[in-house]
Structure 1
Amino acid sequence: MDTLRPIDPAHKDKAKELADAGVRYVTASWIDIFGRSRAKSHPVHLLPELMAGFARYTPRGINGIGAMDPVEEEVTTLPDLDTLTVLPWDTRFAWMAADMWSDRGEPFSLCPRSILKQQIDRAAEQGYRCTLGVEPEFYLYRPEDLTSGGFGVLTATGAIEPSPAYDVETTYDVADFLDDAVTTMGQIGLDAFALGAEGGVNQFEIDFYYKDLLQMADRLTLFRLMMHQVAKRHGLAVSFMPKPFANLWGSGAHFNLGLYEVGGSGESVLRLGNPAVHGEEEWSKESKYFVGGLFQHARALTAITNPLVNSYKRLTPRLVDGSVSWAPIKIAYGPNNRSCMIRLPENRPAIEVRNPDASANVYLAGAFLLAAGLDGIANEIDPGEPITELASDRDEIQRLPRTLLEAVEAFEADELSHQVFGKDFITDYAATKRAEWERSHLPVGDADRNAHLPYF
């Protein structure tokens, strides 16, 4: 069987070990632009060949970027054995994260995991290591309750006004699902420390501890897969869609970035975030410049951290009922200020980037955020003064893009985008996202006709 690399005899022993434990299939998962796992599954005895690179794909259109082409070059998956996880909800299968490689022996230009690894390597060359914690919000519902007007009310407690956020009884109503989810998370390497009801009816959040950037990207990809599978065991469905209904709170996925200096005598944390966490009066210059870099590239970043037309229906200052949405729209930072793009939490040494949502591909978002922050450090970019009041009311503060089209145009124009992603990715991603925006914008529907036909 043709492989990209020589077969390692040690992998035959691993295949036997898995088979003896009851595993029947292995999945070397590459990640599409939407952050979903894609792969074929193979009988476990083929693990050595799989590790050497024999599974080939034609991924472009299927990957969510570019047009499908039946004569395109194939790519080969090279799995990362360190990520191998026997799936707790179906122990017949073992899952691994994999990179996509061309037959020329180089990373595929549209491979999100390879793009992130390149930025991690560049950070290491500069003496830095990055960590990431993510706070994904999601809606939980019965599929049969879904209508054009909402999810229905899942919990016996019902809707809580003005918001079910932090409501203990609402959490207890879905404890069977949440307990199953948290238990399964532990089995795939994610340690939860908090769970509870969020701001929207049927909306919840499970928080877990941070990891190195690549590890978090791999685990979060598996987490999303896991959550859908666990929900189905309970006759439920989950959605990480940024804004499923106009009258409901949006679902974010705040990125908490930490940064470490790596040196010959070990490593020390760069004091990212609120200096009060460290018992200091001044925050570190690296922390300030890191935020400055995020601001410098904020509008371009949004094309990756908020990648859907629907994402920008969350990034609004108010909900349809006029209440504050809690989603940021301004390129600003503040200590514990949730109306800003960046919050400096008072309980952890991290910078919380609040605009990303869970539709973002965490590999791509992590790569761009890391590169932007390090660009800020390298060029000593000052983010200005912190904001302590509602940022959306400050007209003089630059705004995040209002639409996906605005974000894509900023993405194409930003020099750092081209350094991080390369020409091939920029071209195909921009074309794909522009087409997505046009499909949403160009159709004329009943709302337009009802509003305008009688008057014009």
Structure 2
Amino acid sequence: MDTLGSIKQKHTELAQSLSEKGVKYITASWIDIHGRPRAKSNPVNLLPNLLAGSTRYTPRGITGIGTMNPVEEEVTTQPDEATLTILPWDRRYAWMAADMWSDKGETFELCPRSILKKQMAIANKEGFATTLGVEPEFYLFRPESLENGSGRLIPMSDGPKLKSPAYDVMTKLDTTEFIDRMVRYMDEIGMKVFAFGAEGGVGQFELDFQYGTFLEMADKITLFRMMAHQVAKEMGLLVSFMPKPYSDVWGSGAHFNMGLVSSTDSNENIFRNKDKSWTKEAYAYTAGILRHAPALAAITNPVVNSYKRLVPRLVDGSPSWAPIKISYGHNNRTCMIRLPENRPAVENRSVDTAANTYLAGAFMLAAGLKGIREGLDPGAPADFSTYDKDDIPRLPRTLLEAIEAFQQDPLTYEVFSEGFIKDYVDTKLGEWEDYHSQVSDWERKQFLLV
């Protein structure tokens, strides 16, 4: 067993090794409710102190959740050494993910990473290990285009007016410099890119990389988003993970592809039989998510803009490809849940790019496990367009509806602490009320002279 002295020596040697590689600073970041990393940075020689939990924060209010309180209790961060990464876009910095702890020796109730780890521990206790792949969509814009007076950003690769640039090779080639730099950086830190291309919206792209556990993927998404913003800035571009940047463009999703395997040495896949058919656990997991879908939306679609994406059609009348119904199918993209033929994963298509991957993963995992525990049945699949089917329940239409469902669902109180729920609900109700109080140009055009 390592002694405190040997651990400190090991960390001192690690700091020296990083310094020899050109690292000057260490950033051990915790995550706020928006999924943004927050941290101070420390000189690399202080790495042993940082790993011992020396850095303190006052996270409430400042980070978008709860009421700001200048006399609140401080929390400390406990970095996860396994996530140590030299940032390829600025090798003076090394980064680690960190959990937040109170002075009472308990995980801080607003710490998304700790909330996810708790649900993963429950899964493990029940015999399951998790896998998660996320499909992050984003828009690339040229920020200088705002100077043209239109008030609208011009997409990168604003080429021929195709009905949709999805899969268009020339559109993709227009962004090769950005994508190439992203792929090089991602491969350097082990994110293993396997596909990229143009998506349905003009200037919209997707970059897919190797799956991991729920926690590993959440940490990777944190790095991915940081990286995308930094690479865009290096190239004079702007990247946006807003769910719906403009009313006439496709929304940006972050589809969750969730899997379970046996946590024993057999590593047996829980969702697919050997003949590739779906197991009863896969259907029960699906049913659990569908049962709690309205409450889940408060986390998976967490901002007022999220609900501009969850509509059946774009303004030109064409299908939006976004799910609006609480249903599942196989090769059906109008459903919230898809059971794809090419992978042993339950895909939730409702999640958008504003979601905090840690919180969304925790809540969905809890819902799916509850479905397995109770042997729920999702019913018959909807292998037809659900957009115009009135007999299928609909996902919330607004953040307000989602928050009300979140408050009313008993599962909410199993996953999150009362303090988290209060602060999250108050924060999101404030966001809704602020948004709802704004008078838009559309309203003036419609009603000013009524």
Same fold per TM (> 0.5)? Answer: yes
Q: For the Cα contact (< 8 Å) 1:153–1:201, is it kept in 2?
A: yes
1:387 is paired with a residue whose SS is: coil
Letter aligned with residue 391 of structure 1: T
1:148 Cα deviation after fit:
5.8
Of 226-235 and 6-15, more deviation after overlay is shown by 6-15
* Shift in CA distance, 417/159, structure 1 to aligned 2, threshold 3 Å: farther
Q: For the Cα contact (< 8 Å) 1:306–1:360, is it kept in 2?
A: yes
Q: For the Cα contact (< 8 Å) 1:153–1:159, is it kept in 2?
A: no
Paired with 1:349 and 1:107, the residues of 2 have a C-alpha distance of 33
Letter aligned with residue 262 of structure 2: E
Query: Which residue of the partner structure matches residue 422 of structure 2?
Result: 427
Query: Which residue of the partner structure matches residue 454 of structure 1?
Result: 449
Q: For the Cα contact (< 8 Å) 1:25–1:43, is it kept in 2?
A: yes
1:189 Cα deviation after fit:
2.1
1:7 Cα deviation after fit:
6.9
* Shift in CA distance, 432/153, structure 1 to aligned 2, threshold 3 Å: closer
Choose from 437, 441, 444 the match for 1:442.
437
Query: Which residue of the partner structure matches residue 120 of structure 1?
Result: 120
Paired with 2:51 and 2:110, the residues of 1 have a C-alpha distance of 21
1:267 Cα deviation after fit:
2.0
Q: For the Cα contact (< 8 Å) 2:332–2:384, is it kept in 1?
A: yes
1:403-442 residue CA offsets vs partner (Å, 9 max, x unmatched): 0000001011111111101101111000100110011112
Please give the root-mean-square deviation of Cα atoms over the aligned residues, in Å.
1.5
Query: Which residue of the partner structure matches residue 151 of structure 1?
Result: 153
Query: Which residue of the partner structure matches residue 176 of structure 1?
Result: 177
2:417 is paired with a residue whose SS is: helix
1:229 aligns with 2:224: no
Paired with 1:171 and 1:377, the residues of 2 have a C-alpha distance of 41
Query: Which residue of the partner structure matches residue 92 of structure 2?
Result: 92
1:373-395 residue CA offsets vs partner (Å, 9 max, x unmatched): 00000001111100111111111
Paired with 1:92 and 1:149, the residues of 2 have a C-alpha distance of 37
1:267 is paired with a residue whose SS is: coil
1:174 Cα deviation after fit:
1.0
Q: For the Cα contact (< 8 Å) 2:140–2:155, is it kept in 1?
A: no
2:390 is paired with a residue whose SS is: coil
Query: Which residue of the partner structure matches residue 142 of structure 1?
Result: 142
Question: Aligned pairs, how many?
Answer: 444
Query: Which residue of the partner structure matches residue 61 of structure 1?
Result: 61
1:122-158 residue CA offsets vs partner (Å, 9 max, x unmatched): 1111111111000010000111114766432422x61
Q: For structure 1, list consecutive stretches of 5 or more residues without a partner in the other structure.
A: none
1:326 Cα deviation after fit:
0.4
Instruction: Give matches, 1:302-313, under 5 Å.
Output: 302-313=297-308
1:284 aligns with 2:279: yes
Query: Which residue of the partner structure matches residue 340 of structure 2?
Result: 345
Q: For the Cα contact (< 8 Å) 2:140–2:237, is it kept in 1?
A: yes
* Shift in CA distance, 148/326, structure 1 to aligned 2, threshold 3 Å: farther
Paired with 2:338 and 2:208, the residues of 1 have a C-alpha distance of 17
Query: Which residue of the partner structure matches residue 245 of structure 2?
Result: 244
1:54-111 residue CA offsets vs partner (Å, 9 max, x unmatched): 1101101122100111111101010000000001111110000000001111100000
Paired with 2:150 and 2:62, the residues of 1 have a C-alpha distance of 28
TM-score (norm 2): 0.96
Q: For structure 2, list consecutive stretches of 5 or more residues without a partner in the other structure.
A: none
TM-score (norm 1): 0.95
1:22 Cα deviation after fit:
1.2
* Shift in CA distance, 7/56, structure 1 to aligned 2, threshold 3 Å: farther
Instruction: Give matches, 1:374-413, under 5 Å.
Output: 374-413=369-408
Choose from 313, 318, 325 the match for 2:313.
318
1:346 Cα deviation after fit:
1.5
Paired with 2:340 and 2:161, the residues of 1 have a C-alpha distance of 27
Paired with 1:249 and 1:111, the residues of 2 have a C-alpha distance of 32
Query: Which residue of the partner structure matches residue 253 of structure 1?
Result: 254
Paired with 1:328 and 1:95, the residues of 2 have a C-alpha distance of 36
